[in-house]
Amino acid sequence: MQKGFILFILQMTFTYMNAQPVKPTAEYSHQDTLRGTTGKGRQLWDVLHYDISITPDIVNKKIDGENTILFRDSGVEIMQIDLQEPMEIDSIKVAFQNISFKREGNVYWIKFNKKKNINIDTKKLTVFFHGKPTEAIHPPWDGGWIWKTDKNNNPWITAACQGLGASSWYPCKDTQEDEPDSGAKIRITVPDSLVAVGNGRSINKSSEQNGYSTYVWEVRNPINNYNIVPYIGKYKHFSKSYNGLKGKLDMDFWVLDYNLEKAMIQFKDATRMMKAFEYWFGPYPFYEDSYKLVESPHLGMEHQSAIAYGNKFQNGYLGRDLSESGYGLNWDFIIVHESGHEWFGNNITSKDIADMWIHESFTNYSETLFTEYYYGKKAAQKYITGLRKRISNDIPVIGPYGVNKEGSSDMYDKGGNMIHTIRQIINNDGMFRSILKGMNKEFYHQTVSTAQIENYISLKSGIQFKEIFNQYLRSTKIPQLEYYFSNDTFYFKWNNTVDNFEMPVKVSLDNKKEQWIYPTNQGFKSLQINSETNHQLEINDNFYVEKKYHS
């Protein structure tokens, strides 16, 4: 086997749905900074709407298109439009007039006349583009367009570009910090023999010349750039209505024609998911745009209101239980995990990809909450603790800021276990649930920073979690409860921690009833116990910590 293929198999074995890698080293370029920061070319203009039109050339794996960008102008003089090589901008028009632009790698610069008096105004420009977009080789772990065929040799095409960025195929302001406030349209022109599906709702289908049709889809809510994607294939459709917390929710399902019967059985997990997640997180955030699962030629991705599904109509993660608890085989991993992103990732979005844990840690924990809702608390605890063997503690969960780089893939399983640990410390499931629901209300359709999420949880719980977040998000150390016994006294403290670390933990001493202890890393504390021999310490397994005997 080739080395690259072996590495790919290993990656699939030890990670799942990881944010697509952007740059494998710690060396960053000027292009990384342009991509990852809100520099001068991204200031003083706010995207309101994208109107994207594309015509794929299926044979040559190319696309032609245009994007009309509606924006709020607060006096912009230099505008940065992102479009990655080898894609090219052909022309840019404002008010039907061509304007000049200059390319710098993956960035195009537009210079406007300097304004003496700055008046906030709504304007639009149209960018015409073409090219052969980066092709994803192992989607969704790497980004780009996916040009496949189904088992009947029909074209089956989509894109998956998280991390790599939406600018890998269409011109935009490619930062998570600025979502189009009023959503987006995508117009997809394809041969009449195929069907094109996009985000949101179908608003039109028109026949074109030479045997082509154009499908128009519209999202009314703010949307991440990388979530806007086309799906092209021999699709069939079925739907159902769900009576949710905000009334009637349209749930639509698009699958390859020969998989319709399988999908009608397997996709029952979608309504189960919706019921559980509306209980834990509050209303589905995009009622106006509906909910969709769309069969894809890759495993899956959280494309807003058009979730990519490629789990082969089976439970677990491609038939496996990642937790090895047994409970992960009771439900379809991709339906549950990717749909969880509608609340964490799509509704609440990190401004910087370095804070991707906000998306992945809470969505990882959504798997546990789904398990708890249907199979009970003990089942959920076995599921989340079973994921710990997948944690590598290689680099911090939070990545470097300003260079479009995520942190460790531990943002999934370690992040989920951190949230589970925080839940134990809060020790009030009603409050914990209200915090999850409150976050989705407080930060509804917003982009946020880690600080905002940390402060919200600390404020609403009444517990200062600052150093606990530092421990699990900014270091690779697992807290160790260092301890020893001396006669009838138990001595304990935290070791292997960040500065000023304090965290209560539940323990059992000498097989007796559990109790809370309150160690710090400032020195041993002591606790009197009744017996003098055969001492034992057990830490409640719901805390992601280790124990170390002090010798």
Judge whether residue 212 has pLDDT over 60.
Answer: yes
Angle made by CA atoms 141, 356, 401, in degrees to the nearest 5: 110
pLDDT tens-digit readout, 318-352: 999 999 999 999 999 999 999 999 999 999 999 99
* CA-wise closest residue to 337 among 381, 293, 367: 367
Q: What share of the chain is helix, strand, coil (3-state, %, to 5)?
A: 30, 30, 40
Measured distance CA(205)–CA(188) in Å, rounded: 10
- The CATH T-level fold of domain 480-549 is Immunoglobulin-like (2.60.40)
> How much is the pLDDT for 115?
60
Question: What phi and psi values does residue 194 have, to the nearest 5 degrees?
Answer: -115, 165
Mean pLDDT of the chain: 94
Question: What phi and psi values does residue 371 have, to the nearest 5 degrees?
Answer: -60, -45
CB 490 within 8 A of CB 525: no
Measured distance CA(21)–CA(402) in Å, rounded: 15
C-alpha of 145 from chain center: 19
Please state the rounded mean pLDDT for residues 33-48.
96
pLDDT tens-digit readout, 221-267: 999 999 999 999 999 999 999 999 999 999 999 999 999 999 999 99
Measured distance CA(73)–CA(56) in Å, rounded: 32
Judge whether residue 119 has pLDDT over 80.
Answer: no
> How much is the pLDDT for 26?
61
Tokens of residue 249, six digits: 């929710």
Q: How many CB atoms lie within 10 A of CB 395?
A: 14
Measured distance CA(288)–CA(220) in Å, rounded: 7
DSSP string, 283-342: S-TTGGG-EEEEE-SSSEE--TTSEEE-STT-SBBTTB-TTSSSGGGSSBHHHHHHHHTT
| Strand-pair partners of 67 | 52, 127
Reported as a pLDDT band with limits 50, 70 and 90, residue 22 is very low
Place of tokens 């987006």: 184
Reported as a pLDDT band with limits 50, 70 and 90, residue 149 is very high
Measured distance CA(212)–CA(414) in Å, rounded: 48
This prediction has a pTM of 0.94
Judge whether residue 534 has pLDDT over 50.
Answer: yes
Reported as a pLDDT band with limits 50, 70 and 90, residue 132 is very high
Place of tokens 């608003």: 203
Strands 231-233 and 291-295: unpaired
Q: Between 496 and 112, where is the model more confident? A: 496
Q: How many CB atoms lie within 10 A of CB 41?
A: 23
3-state DSSP assignment of residue 412: coil
Q: Where are the domains of the chain?
A: 38-272+283-310, 480-549
**The residue type at 89:** I
What is the chain's length?
A: 551
User: How far does the chain reach from its first CA to its final CA, in angstroms?
Assistant: 48
Reported as a pLDDT band with limits 50, 70 and 90, residue 202 is very high
Say yes or no: do domains 38-272+283-310 and 480-549 share a fold: yes
- The CATH T-level fold of domain 38-272+283-310 is Immunoglobulin-like (2.60.40)
Judge whether residue 524 has pLDDT over 80.
Answer: yes
Q: Residue 237, exposed/middle/buried by CB under 10 A (0-12, 13-18, 19+)?
A: middle
Judge whether residue 48 has pLDDT over 80.
Answer: yes
